Amino acid sequence: MKYWLCEFHEQNGEAEYKHRHIYNDKQLDDIGHEGDDHDYRILNHFFFENITKDDEDGGGYWTGDGCRIVRFDGMTEVKKKDFKSIKSKFSKQAKFKSDKFFDLGDAFLDATGLPGPSMGHINMFLGHSDTGKTTALVKTAVDAQKKGVLPVFVITEQKWDFPHAKLMGLDIEETVDEETGEIEYDGFFLFNNEFQYIEQITDYINELIDAQKKGELEYDLLFLWDSVGSVPCKMTFDGKGGKQHNASTLADKIGMGLNQRISGSRRVDSEYTNTLVIVNQPWVELPDNPFSQPKIKAKGGESIWLNSTLVFRFGNQKNAGTNPISAVKDKRKVKFATRTKISIMKNHVNGLGYEDGRIIVTAHGFLSGKDSTEEKKSLEEYKKEHAEFWKDQLGIEGDFDIKEEV
């Protein structure tokens, strides 16, 4: 393999510029540069233009905007030993830890092709209401506790329920305040729901990472934010802003701040690995013509999407698209489970994952439901395992039926 130092000239009015770029033989073959008659091809590749032979004018080529003339000034072979010295001087590659994931169980793996959120990244659970997002959030925290990773709950939607989280396996200790009679919840986790605007949340996360660096928190951290679309920025909170200000604040605080601190923790020289999991609800962008499909968009602007390495979508594009499943005895009926779709919308970790998954969401977690046979088996096994719990919910004795609502 040979390497070539290629030189380019660009003229825009009275301004002139010289450019250099190294190509190898394979790249030149792929470009189709086979001699002087094909200079326009390498110019297209380097300047991201769409120049043709007809654009040639006095040894140069006019670009598509008609404002610049560019030309290829030739190339010189870079000897291997020279290239090594160039590479050692100018090429730097950070080393990162191997990819690891939180484990949300076999049902989640079967439905998505991935165990769960990726460690050391920003992950997003995106979907309409009641599609399994918070269940996934809690199950991520459950596995974090098992791995010795400290869950940090950042709750802004004010729908959190400790007994429900405990039901799903979160290790929680319940104590009763003797004076007030109130139940207090303790365990290997941090919990904060006293946020009013975005800046308080990002400051809190940064404060914990700073404490970690000082040795005050000797754990990997898992930040669990439920949900990002439910809290405004300070300006909007004060009645002086709107959606665009919320989006701008998220872009500044996450895109230009937290993203670097979270992803930077994956470097091998970082003592700890920190992860951010965001729950988010979507809005639906309507098609611009009758033949297009609506698109699901994340609340909070493009920055949330762009800075999320891994995005799981729960439910349909336009709506939840779920199927409720009820436990029925005589005339009593309670919600037993929900069938929902789940897919990988974005994966910049390893590119893997399914786009057509199906899963059953219950009060205790997830069940496999990729086809009707497996779903029926999963529901019957779950019903048998948690029979006493569901009898208490129904307030009955004896067996009960499971019925799906259309």
Q: What is the pLDDT of residues 2-12, one digit of tens each?
A: 888 899 998 88
Q: How confident is the model at residue 382 (pLDDT cuts 50, 70, 90)?
A: very high
Report the C-alpha dihedral over residues 100, 105, 106, 112, rounded to 10 degrees.
-60
3-state percent breakdown (helix, strand, coil) of the chain, nearest 5: 35, 30, 35
Q: How far is CA 42 from the centre of its chain?
A: 37
Is pLDDT above 80 for 66? no
Q: What is Dmax (Cα atoms) for the chain?
A: 93
Between 324 and 62, residue with greater pLDDT: 324
Name which of 137, 141, 149 is nearest 220 in CA terms: 149
Number of H helices, E strands in the chain: 13, 20
> Tell me, what amino acid is at 349?
V
Q: Pick the range with the lowest mean pLDDT from 24-28, 247-251, 284-288, 365-369.
A: 284-288
Pairing of strands 357-362, 68-78: unpaired
Q: How confident is the model at residue 58 (pLDDT cuts 50, 70, 90)?
A: confident
Which distant-in-sequence residues (6+ apart) come within 8 Å of 174 by Cβ? 162, 166, 183, 184, 185
d(CA 111, CA 377): 16
Residue 268 confidence (pLDDT) = 96
The domain ranges of the chain are: 3-90, 106-319+343-356
Domain 106-319+343-356: which CATH class?
Answer: alpha beta
Residue 213 Cα distances to 119, 217, 344, 347, 388, angstroms: 18, 8, 33, 29, 47
Phi, psi of 392 (to 5 degrees): -65, -40
- Residues β-bridged to residue 154: 192, 225
Residue 100 Cα distances to 27, 169, 274, 320, angstroms: 34, 21, 12, 30
- DSSP character string of 23-91: EEHHHHHHHT--SGGGHHHHHHHHHT----GGGEETTEEE-TTSSEEEEEEEEEEE-HHHHHHHHHHH-
Q: How confident is the model at residue 404 (pLDDT cuts 50, 70, 90)?
A: confident
d(CA 29, CA 37): 14
Is pLDDT above 90 for 179? no
What single-letter DSSP state applies at residue 387? H
Tokens of 27: 């790249």
Cis peptide bond N-terminal to 265, omega within 30: no
pLDDT tens digits along 276-323? 999 998 888 877 787 777 777 888 888 899 999 999 999 988 889 899
d(CA 351, CA 353): 7
Decide if 89 contacts 72 (C-beta within 8 A): no
Residue 51 confidence (pLDDT) = 83
Q: Pick the range with the lowest mean pLDDT from 164-173, 290-299, 391-400.
A: 290-299
Is pLDDT above 70 for 406? no
Residue 15 confidence (pLDDT) = 82
d(CA 89, CA 270): 24
Residue 7 Cα distances to 29, 32, 382, angstroms: 17, 17, 68
Name which of 229, 222, 203 is nearest 138 in CA terms: 222
Whole-number percent of the chain with pLDDT over 70: 99
d(CA 311, CA 329): 39
Q: Which helix (H) or strand (E) holds 144?
A: helix 133-147
Q: Pick the range with the lowest mean pLDDT from 66-75, 201-210, 239-248.
A: 66-75
What single-letter DSSP state applies at residue 236? H
Whole-number percent of the chain with pLDDT over 90: 57
Residue 167 confidence (pLDDT) = 96
Phi, psi of 43 (to 5 degrees): -65, -40
Q: Pick the range with the lowest mean pLDDT from 32-36, 162-166, 366-370.
A: 32-36
Residue 47 confidence (pLDDT) = 83
d(CA 170, CA 151): 10
- Give the number of other Cβ atoms within 10 Å of residue 326's Cβ: 16
pLDDT tens digits along 119-158? 999 999 999 999 999 999 999 999 999 999 999 999 998 8
pLDDT tens digits along 99-123? 999 999 999 999 999 999 999 999 9
